[in-house]
Chains A and B, each alone.
Chain A
């Protein structure tokens, strides 16, 4: 399947005359497009904007915490900063990040389809995200929200005097965007695979997006209804969550985490799919234990629905309930561990290159190891009681969501950048930014584990004047500045490369996968003729040397 020419290099690269980007140039042709690739680009621009908005709030948070006293801004302003940081980053960046951009672009390409099953619904889902985003932006501009992204009742439903309704409506609306995206992916993966593309020939990226879509479709309606109930209580004083009018505040936590814990896997699973693609492509090996990795994704998606109570060990829920949730939480650790072990084993006897995407994949594994193993601390109830709602938890979920998801997202963005744009990114700058991000991230979040175990609660505008605590917070803020610089670099060189980068060949990495068999960038129809798949996933060994009869592989 791979020959020397498709690996790039020697032959002069000519950009394809007709592709999805140059088919039409009008703004209307973008805003009314039904092409999944153009919609992916619309998402990419949208979520990049929100990433920087959320990042700006993070900068303010870190600046305030440079000193113990609440001296840069008023506590109420600080509370709005961390709330808006969480709301924007989670609902407008992390949840759509990999699935809506890379997933949208790649799901049809990888399975050999011309588009998603419902192209108009795909466009609609982008508009829904934008409308939801506008409500949230309105909440930001009008004066902010201060409930925390978790909207805990009765604070959110009764006590907060901020723009809770605008933000809640925004979150409610964006939920439908991910429901529709999930629905689109499920139907597409079931019905539109190219001839010969059996389930076990699907790239693992597709498996993880399938698992993610299940969560999106099954979980998101719950948070939508929950947010709606908060609105009902806030506006019409219907007693649901506020005990003063007959409600139950803990009920809100159950409903909220029933979605929001699986939502962590909406953020993480697509990233794991990206990592599976990167590891195989840059070691030129098939995935070690393909089926285990594929089913691990489904296992995570299913178990993810059974562990929400581990966010509530201190809430006063039944101690036996806590026991069950702790037990099930440790079950989720296993499929995640299986993935890491299989990624590692895939490298064995591979042909490993150090291109930027692989560096991101390496960073992902490192962060995910720390983020994942600190999850073991939090699942142990007796230990969670101490670290719950401290910076230990903050560090843990940033290692998973930023260290994991954002690393995977950036790694994937670099890997598929040639396919998205038809241009190569500058390798030197890209490696530098990966390195800066790795260092900056660790410096930002590792000290938070320490200060968290020492007892510093999260969401504190001011903290006790203790030199050790301040030192750890200063380290964290210093790291955040480095991290910020690391994130800014790709925002400069990636757009730069769209005009000045080298033209990309169809398959610059010599990777398998149908997306590399069409031009870079692909034509609007993706493939000139529908591909027929006769090979196994990640078949990096040239086919001539291989016995393909009956799927029996040559013994070493």
Chain B
């Protein structure tokens, strides 16, 4: 690890700014070492043969050598074993990247030719800048209004394509405060190389101070609630189960039975699809009467709506949930409700739910089901 430490100050090597960076670099050094060893070995052998067996007379006719099965097996099996180690290493690092921990803080990203639009749950918005607290697991839920982009932070060693028409997610935990470069890594047209930005990793207190400086429109969930009312969603989706649409309270993250008998989990992607293409996966027992909202809501409004639906915890489950998650929450996000959002509808609810969204749906669902059975 000493060598790693030295390289951190080496000008030709990127900074290690996240928890996964060190694993990625470890893998990099392992593959470099194996590759360099074999390449140098082969080149040395070739050069030796070139000199040792150079042609000394024009009529030389060397003895033929047919080959050797033993050697063939040797140089098949050894490289195979080594590349399998690389495969496992790559898979291990990838799994830590692809699977966020339970307690993430959710931030929403919308790409657009050629800018990054960021929405914080507290309602703060930024463009081409992302402020995050240090040592906190951040989960980004991302989509784009036009072409494919890719959210890339080299110092964090993470990258995720941002695809129109769907949500992709990525997570990271920055390990030290500072400024980090953000790039768009998927070619997206004329000003692709201008679609860059800065990640500001801050001490938690600085982050809270920064949060309280913005968000005049209230929290993301409260903005979503306004959209919800503007679009008159609340005429059908009522919390008293008397509406023509399913009750949305406590829906997020729970299993839903759809027509055809299939069961799926109501995650961000499902909510998004159900707003834009309601008949695709209709909830069991409901008529296909909901119109599409394609073209009527922007990607940003969709994310607000989803944040709002997430914030709608069913009464009675609230305490259960809280008791499960409180320890992590208090560790990771001491005061995530900024004063500006405090007065918003169900001010406390977004946070308890939001802290949950990082949990893989699979792990969370059984607990919820258990709650229901009680």
A370 CB contacts on chain B under 8 angstroms: 39
Q: Are B163 and A70 in contact (CB under 8 A)?
A: no
* Nearest CB in chain A: distance from B188 CB, A: 7
In the bound assembly, the distance between CA atoms of A31 and B312 in angstroms comes to 75
Which B residues from 307 to 332 make CB contacts under 8 A with A?
none
Q: Are A344 and B46 in contact (CB under 8 A)?
A: yes
How many A-B residue pairs have C-beta atoms within 8 angstroms? Tell me.
Answer: 291
Task: Tell me whether A306 is interfacial, beta carbon within 8 Å.
Answer: no
B175 CB contacts on chain A under 8 angstroms: none
Q: Are B65 and A285 in contact (CB under 8 A)?
A: yes
Which B residues from 18 to 47 make CB contacts under 8 A with A?
20, 23-24, 27-28, 31-32, 34-35, 38-39, 42-43, 45-46
Chain B contributes a number of interface residues (CB within 8 A of A) equal to 88
A365 CB contacts on chain B under 8 angstroms: 42-43, 46
B63 CB contacts on chain A under 8 angstroms: 349, 541, 554, 556
Q: Are B49 and A4 in contact (CB under 8 A)?
A: no
* Nearest CB in chain B: distance from A351 CB, A: 4
Q: Are B53 and A383 in contact (CB under 8 A)?
A: no
Task: Tell me whether A492 is interfacial, beta carbon within 8 Å.
Answer: no
Q: Are A369 and B42 in contact (CB under 8 A)?
A: yes
Q: Are A319 and B54 in contact (CB under 8 A)?
A: no
What per-residue 1/0 map shows which CB atoms of B177-203 lie under 8 Å from chain A? 000010111111111111010000000
In the bound assembly, the distance between CA atoms of A281 and B362 in angstroms comes to 62
Q: Are A450 and B65 in contact (CB under 8 A)?
A: no
Pick from B24, B49, B64, B79: contact of A334, CB under 8 Å: B79
Specify which of A76, A382, A472, A542 lies most central, judged by the most chain B CB atoms within 10 Å of its CB: A382
In the bound assembly, the distance between CA atoms of A538 and B75 in angstroms comes to 23
Pick from B12, B80, B90: contact of A384, CB under 8 Å: B90
Q: Are B89 and A382 in contact (CB under 8 A)?
A: yes
B42 CB contacts on chain A under 8 angstroms: 340-341, 344, 365, 369
In the bound assembly, the distance between CA atoms of A245 and B100 in angstroms comes to 32
B28 CB contacts on chain A under 8 angstroms: 377, 383, 453
* Nearest CB in chain A: distance from B50 CB, A: 6
Q: Are B62 and A334 in contact (CB under 8 A)?
A: no
Q: Are B168 and A381 in contact (CB under 8 A)?
A: no
B43 CB contacts on chain A under 8 angstroms: 365-366, 369
Task: Tell me whether A322 is interfacial, beta carbon within 8 Å.
Answer: yes
Task: Tell me whether B287 is interfacial, beta carbon within 8 Å.
Answer: no
B150 CB contacts on chain A under 8 angstroms: 314, 389
Q: Interface-forming stretch among B151-159, B220-228, B364-372?
A: B151-159
What per-residue 1/0 map shows which CB atoms of A350-378 lie under 8 Å from chain B? 11111000000010011001100110110
B94 CB contacts on chain A under 8 angstroms: 313, 319, 322-323, 381-382, 385
Q: Are A155 and B161 in contact (CB under 8 A)?
A: no
**Complex: chain B residue closest to A461, CB-CB:** B193
What per-residue 1/0 map shows which CB atoms of B47-83 lie under 8 Å from chain A? 0011001111011111111111001100110011001
In the bound assembly, the distance between CA atoms of A554 and B65 in angstroms comes to 9
Which A residues from 64 to 117 make CB contacts under 8 A with B?
70, 75-76, 79
Task: Tell me whether A419 is interfacial, beta carbon within 8 Å.
Answer: no
Known: A155-B147, A316-B163, A333-B79. A349 touches B61 (CB 8 A): no
B5 CB contacts on chain A under 8 angstroms: none
Task: Tell me whether A47 is interfacial, beta carbon within 8 Å.
Answer: no
Q: Are A155 and B189 in contact (CB under 8 A)?
A: yes
**Complex: chain A residue closest to B145, CB-CB:** A244
A118 CB contacts on chain B under 8 angstroms: none
Q: Interface-forming stretch among A172-180, A286-294, A516-524?
A: A286-294
Task: Tell me whether A464 is interfacial, beta carbon within 8 Å.
Answer: yes
**Complex: chain A residue closest to B84, CB-CB:** A330
Pick from B31, B164, B187, B193: contact of A383, CB under 8 Å: B31
Task: Tell me whether B118 is interfacial, beta carbon within 8 Å.
Answer: no
Known: A351-B55, A365-B46. A468 touches B64 (CB 8 A): no
Pick from A349, A366, A468: contact of B62, CB under 8 Å: A349
Q: Are A377 and B31 in contact (CB under 8 A)?
A: yes
Q: Are A381 and B90 in contact (CB under 8 A)?
A: yes
Task: Tell me whether B355 is interfacial, beta carbon within 8 Å.
Answer: no
What per-residue 1/0 map shows which CB atoms of B250-263 lie under 8 Å from chain A? 00000000000000
Q: Are A541 and B157 in contact (CB under 8 A)?
A: no
The 6 sampled A-B contact pairs (Cβ below 8 Å) are: A284-B62, A285-B62, A323-B91, A369-B39, A376-B34, A380-B87
Q: A380-B90, A386-B154, A541-B61 are in contact. List 11 more A-B contacts (CB 8 A).
A: A244-B165, A314-B160, A323-B91, A326-B91, A338-B76, A342-B72, A347-B49, A354-B54, A379-B87, A453-B14, A540-B62
- The 8 A-B pairs with the shortest beta carbon distances in the complex, nearest first, are A455-B154, A382-B93, A243-B165, A380-B90, A373-B35, A289-B67, A460-B193, A381-B94
